[in-house]
Chain A
Amino acid sequence: MPATSSRIQVLPDLVINKIAAGEVVERPAAVVKELVENAIDAGARRIEVESVGGGARRIAVTDDGAGMTRDEALLALERHATSKIRDVADLDDIHTLGFRGEALAAIASVSRFTLTTRRAEDDGGTRVRLAGGKILSVEACGAPPGTAMEVQGLFFNVPARRKFLRAESTETAHIRRITESFALAYPGVGFRLRLDGREVMRFPPGATREERIRELFDPAWVEALRPVEGEEGPVKVEGFITLPTVQRADRNDIYTFVNGRPAQAALLHYAIAAAGEGMWPRQRHPAGVLHVTCPGTQVDVNVHPTKREVRFRDPTRVRDLVIRSLRRALEGEVPAPAVAASPGPPSTQPPPPPLPAYQEMLTPRRPDPTHGASAPEPSADASGPGLPDVGVPWQVLRVLGQIEGGYAVLETEDGLVLLDPQAAHERVLYERFLERGDARPPVQRLLTPHTVDLDAVEAARVRAHLDLLQEMGIGVSAFGGDSFLIDALPAPLSGASPEALLHEVALELEQTGAAKGAPHRIRAAVARAAATASSDRSRRLGEAELQAVLEALVRARMPYTCPHGRPTVIQISRRELDRKFGRG
């Protein structure tokens, strides 16, 4: 082995920067992220993002923030040069988005980089040009106050890296998504995004969070949004989440923020899934925006070079708070808080109508001139919507009949509602099983005890939860081997086959992951199994039964889906009918 290869030496800065670039700059969107963070930390009120060729050809981020002097600009391009922290103690309490001080140097080392900046109080600005991390020129120039950074030919000097870039459209989508995240996180800041010369996003500064969501989200989602609010000690959760009427195939429409930072935390996604248990089908997700705020000491953002992932010091507490807040929002136990109240700059436009509370969903939202309905002006009370006194929006429902398959057709003031009575029945039963005390169905004893034989795996699962099953009204006891004896059942289930029920329970326990599931999840699994076993899809409901199911559904906490997340109702508004029939 040649002697030279074993000598250890300190790497030159340029090489270090390139290595850092490999971590920080995984893709063009990461450049956008770093630059926008800098802009926000610099107190920008307007930020413009531009990308050409999926960001590989050109990325430019321009802000109207504080700007830098010539010396500051040069220092900023040094590795680990930062204005944001001073010593190790600061790392435990970080208030700015950036802090590592390596981003600019890293980006500059793998691109042709131009930084133009001027402080408002200075007469002239500074322009620094670099290529592959080497300064080409530093010159005085005229410039508007703020900072403009331009990255051209990303990875021009790292061909290996360049090859790993995805299709232009993919990279563009990432850039768009990261810009949207910042726009949601910083409604006070104006954002403009230009992709390949075309302006695709323009959000004025001084907006509220709600206004931002409104601008960004599909109108159908906006209608389904419910405010989320929760607080425990220093930890706060806020945001909006869609009801299960919105079902997305992936989590891309859930925007999560920790202390204002767009952040992915496995914990938050877990909490959303747990809160939605029994509302969304498996592999379906809501859309929404969640902000978690907590003292800087409670959260560690220095986990990942791109700060994309965060860790909480007390994960259980945060997770439970998020689950609780989401459940409250989805189940509508809290009155809708005033969501439009955040003090923004005075606006000459009337405030937009408040986000709909979920009880409102089945009532006509806008007065229909042809109908002569006299809904109050939505903007009449700008301080917030409060809870409209809809109590029973379903009062306006009229059962028109039942069609093949047992679906019921209902008429409302605003159009049609199709109801799956069995799904509705399952939802009603499911919630009754989860009740405690009074509301839980009585237990019906059986004439003769039934022996049910399970296979070994099923039996183990059922055996592990015998106490819970009994508490929920299923009179099951071990009968030796893998056999069980059932001598009583919750009344709504008592007509069904005990065999089918126990198999269904075992199946649900398996899918819930019985071994490590929390008690409430197991309870939910049993209730789901019970509801499924007791509803008989082939049976057509009589008119009285249908009415009873409807009345119970109105009182349900989550009337829109069955316990497995399938919809109970499909709404077709008059507007939609008119549109489809071409009545304009």
Chain B
Amino acid sequence: MKLRVSKERLLDALQRVQPVIPGKSSLPILSNVLLRAEEGQLWLTTTDLALTVRTRIECEIEEEGAITVSVKRIASIVRELPSGDLSLTVDEAQEVEIRSGGSFVKLYGVSEDEFPPLPEFDGAQAFTVPQAAFLGMLQRVHYAASTDDSRMVLNGVLLSFGEEKLTLVATDGRRLALDEVELEFPEDAGTELVVPTKTVSELLLCLGEEGDVIVRVGESQVAFEFDHMLVISKRAEGNFPNFRQVIPGQSEERVEIERELLFASLRRVSMLQQDLRNDAVRLQFRPDRLVISSSVHEVGQAEETLPIKYAGKELVISFNPGFLMDPLKVLKEDVVVLELTDDLSPGVLKSEGPFVYVIMPMRVS
């Protein structure tokens, strides 16, 4: 195998496939990237057996062939090389030689035969979604997914194709984020699947703003094709809870709040808290003002007052500040809408568009 390729292009591709390699594995080969040169393309593949990512870049091939080599090592070497083209040669002894200007590095590779074969894809249905819309939706919902190992089906994002829409949902049992986009596909082609968190992270890293992504849905797998990328992942198993029944139909009070102001206030108030994930902040809605406060045992208290347009009943409700801030971080609109009923009923956060975020209140003793 012998080829010339641009350093920038190779580094970019390596960085896209590198996150897939497992943190620790009994199979050392899984920390390698498979490099395959054929028909004017260099294909890079990594896998942790559950998730496989493949990308290709243009290159000048003198001699076709394949090799696997530690992705971490080759990426760190390529990163330090001067910009411009580099040459990559693999000899009979599976030694990978990289030359660029006056630099020369030799790495010991492992034969392609050791690398697990690309999973056979059992894909039946295919949907085409604009990349920018898909990326935006993932960004708006993914953070609500559960991180608890005991609830695998919540460790990911639900993709629900149906009613001429693609709906994305993530929840950890305490809050739920939902976003939708209208989509054209055959009416009988509806389906639901859960994409595991690691695959979602990879998509968030690699998806772009242009073109389409083709989603192929199989029995146990799902594949995403876009640009020069192919992502094949196992689906998360289990039954995703019925998200529609969680979203309250009608709330009693509705208030518009400046997103950045709300975010900044929440951040300041929760400064005292040691454990953003477990402590509560109190929201007091009064005529034309919102008072956010928190009191932390043996530490202190903080309070913020925000001007708002509010004429509803006086309402006091406590939330996990981290949960409340999460969507505010990713939304782009200037104003968000908070819908509330009482201190025990779920709160609903919305913005322009179909985005809905349901958050359960906390009770403070």
Q: Which residues of A contact B (CB under 8 A)?
A: 404, 435, 437-448, 473, 488, 491-492, 494-497, 500, 536, 538-539, 548, 551-552, 555
Contacts and interface: CB of A to CB of B under 8 A. Distances in A.
Contacts of B272: none
A447 B174 contact: yes
Nearest to B150: A497
B363 A488 contact: yes
Given A439-B297, A439-B298, A448-B246, A495 B363 contact: no
A488 B343 CA distance: 14
Contacts of B277: 491-492, 495
Given A448-B241, A495-B172, 6 more contacts: A439-B297, A444-B320, A447-B173, A447-B360, A538-B149, A555-B298
B132 interface: no
A500 B365 CA distance: 25
A291 B301 CA distance: 45
Given A447-B176, A448-B241, A491-B278, A536 B362 contact: no
B362 A491 contact: yes
A551 B298 CA distance: 13
A498 to B, nearest CB: 8
B274 A552 contact: yes
B363 A404 contact: no
B129 to A, nearest CB: 27
A548 B280 CA distance: 17
Contacts, number: 89
A442 B346 contact: no
B149 A442 contact: no
Given A491-B280, A491-B320, A491-B362, A536 B274 contact: no
Nearest to A432: B278
A438 B241 CA distance: 34
A447 B358 contact: yes
B363 A443 contact: yes
15 contacts: A439-B297, A441-B278, A442-B278, A442-B318, A443-B364, A446-B360, A447-B175, A447-B176, A447-B346, A495-B146, A495-B172, A497-B150, A539-B147, A548-B275, A552-B274
Given A497-B148, A536-B148, A448 B297 contact: no
Q: How large is the interface on B (under 10, 10 to 19, 20 to 34, 35 or more residues)?
A: 35 or more
Given A447-B175, A494-B173, A442 B274 contact: no
Contact of B174 (A437, A446, A500): A446
Contacts of B344: 445
B329 interface: no
B156 interface: no
Contacts of B175: 447
Interface in B108-141: none
B298 A548 contact: no
Contacts of B148: 495-497, 536
B149 A539 contact: yes
Contacts of B365: 437-438, 440, 442-443, 473
A441 B277 CA distance: 11
Interface of B: 24, 146-151, 171-176, 241-242, 245-246, 274-275, 277-280, 295, 297-298, 318, 320, 344, 346, 358, 360-365
A495 B173 contact: yes
Contacts of A536: 148-149
A492 B274 CA distance: 12
Contact of A448 (B245, B279, B320): B245
B246 A442 contact: no
A496 to B, nearest CB: 5
Contacts of B242: 448
Nearest to B247: A447
B24 A404 contact: yes
Nearest to B362: A442
Contacts of A444: 174, 320, 360, 362
Most B CB contacts (10 A, CB to CB) among A488, A491, A536, A538 go to A491
A438 B299 CA distance: 11
Most A CB contacts (10 A, CB to CB) among B246, B274, B344 go to B274
Most A CB contacts (10 A, CB to CB) among B171, B358, B360 go to B360
Contacts of B174: 444-447, 494-495
Nearest to B242: A448
A435 B146 CA distance: 27
Nearest to A450: B173
B246 to A, nearest CB: 5
Given A442-B365, A444-B320, A444-B362, A500 B274 contact: no
Contacts of A442: 278-280, 318, 362-365
Contact of A445 (B151, B171, B245, B363): B363
The 7 closest A-B pairs by CB, nearest first: A491-B278, A439-B297, A442-B280, A445-B360, A497-B150, A443-B363, A438-B297
A8 B195 CA distance: 93
A418 to B, nearest CB: 19
A538 B298 CA distance: 31
A426 B57 CA distance: 49
Nearest to A495: B148
Contacts of B280: 442, 491
B273 to A, nearest CB: 10
B242 to A, nearest CB: 8
Contacts of A538: 149
Nearest to A498: B173
Contacts of A447: 171, 173-176, 241, 246, 346, 358, 360
Nearest to A439: B297
B151 A497 contact: yes
Contacts of A435: 297
A440 to B, nearest CB: 6
